[in-house]
Amino acid sequence: TIEISKTGASVIQHNDYRIAITYPPFSESYEITIVHPTVKLSLDDYTISEALMKRLTDRAEGILISGAPGSGKSTLASGLANFYHDQDKIVKTFESPRDLQVDAGITQYSKLDGSFDNTADILLLVRPDYTIFDEVRRREDFTTFSDLRLTGVGMVGVIHANSPLDAIQRFIGKIELGIIPNVLDTVVFVHNGDIEKVYDLELKVKVPTGMTESDLARPVIEIRNFENNVLEHEIYTFGEENVIVPVVKREKIGIEKLAEDKIKDYFQRYDSGAEVEILSENRVKVIVHEDCVASIIGRGGTNINEIEKFLKVHIDIVAKDSESLSLTSNEIPFNFSESKTALLLTVSREYTSMHADIYTNDKFFASVRIGKKGQIKIPKRSDIGRNLLNSTSSQDDIQLFLKDF
């Protein structure tokens, strides 16, 4: 089958052989390159942890396989396609040329009228569960990959990159930063024919690591090592640029280390394994066992109030092995309403000009300033406004905590 035919070059697929032919005027002389797969592998032949296998089976639907040329990306993609086919999933491929080693029940699509975008129109009519895209290279390929993923099709993309971060970087600028985690949830890096590293992507609204002021909170894409859940990099907008920043655990020195040790000593009265994280000059997070939280808070928050006055810092108490955010005595009541352009959180006028933290579904969302007449106005078209609307269904999902005391 002639897969590609242009002036000076042709690519022919004959059974398992991919034959690339170049000739004048494209090359100074005739050249014929024949490539033949040396091995066909299944997922059982790779070093895959139980957690990763469960992820590939149950959750992963935006997979990106990256690696240098010849590292084994397409071989892994073929194995993944056959794996899904064996699970009675409908699997298709996007290829040019069509050289993946897949089972007979998997249809291999090429470009329709010279474009994968046209192929995507036909693909949606056959309702696949998974599509293998080998390879994502041109700008239109990134757009097609993203559009198909956002329509609900499970996508497995193959991309040339020397590192998994380079693979993610290639998506930045081609699609909106905020939807990257919706398009990519699992990034696999292949080296020397085996899986070397796997990253998990998740979007959160938070203060980027290394920054301390709460009003710097913004949408941040966390890139975590899938195997140990360690945060390794963050992607966020800094000024007008989108940046990937490595997360390095900073060694605390001097007075900061002394303060952390003193606060830790205080809370080890309640939990010998208490951990302390200094968030800013006047705010700390204390992580303790769930059984100790009630005694630290005290009835009606009386005990935590006394501790905060004694230590002269705002304290967030977090239960270990829980993503729930701080239980605190500074929760304030509010009324939620909407205008044509903004979301309105109205509190008592006595809190005017103070600062507050918004929590959604028990997770930190953003820090805000309480304006005139006790109103917090969040523009609907802002990132915070859109994320607040998307992450909540009623006022019961929102909590407001006073920061000033």
| pLDDT above 60 (res 38) | yes
Mean pLDDT to the nearest integer, 132-159 = 93
- Hey, what long-range contacts does 247-251 have (CB within 8 A, 24 or more apart)? 247/209, 247/210, 250/210
Does the pTM surpass 0.75? The reply is no
pLDDT value, residue 256: 72
Task: Choose between 133 and 274: higher pLDDT.
Answer: 133
Parallel/antiparallel/unpaired status of strands 342-346 and 375-379: antiparallel
Between 19 and 320, name the one with better pLDDT.
19
- pLDDT tens digits, one per residue of 234-251: 999 988 888 999 987 655
At position 8, the amino acid (one-letter code) is G
Buried b (16+ CB within 10 A) or exposed e, 151-168: eebbbbbbbbbeebbebb
CA distance 124 to 120: 6
pLDDT of 28 reads 95
pLDDT at 251: 58
Please tell me the least confidently modeled range out of 45-59, 206-220, 333-347: 206-220
pLDDT tens, 250-283? 555 567 778 888 888 888 888 887 888 877 677 7
pLDDT greater at residue 89 or residue 370: 89
Give 288-313 pLDDT, tens digit per residue.
888 888 888 887 788 888 888 888 88
C-alpha radius of gyration, the chain, whole number: 27
Structure confidence at residue 325 (pLDDT): 40
Q: What is the pLDDT of residue 158?
A: 95
Quote the pLDDT of residue 321. Answer: 55
Q: What's the N-to-C CA distance of the chain in angstroms?
A: 75
User: Would you call the peptide bond into 97 cis, given omega within 30 degrees of 0 as the criterion?
Assistant: yes
Percent of the chain with pLDDT over 90: 39
165-169, 223-227, 238-242: segment of lowest average pLDDT: 238-242
Span 227-240, average pLDDT: 88
CB contact at 8 A, 141 and 133: yes
Specify the residue for token string 């977090």: 318
pLDDT at 314: 85
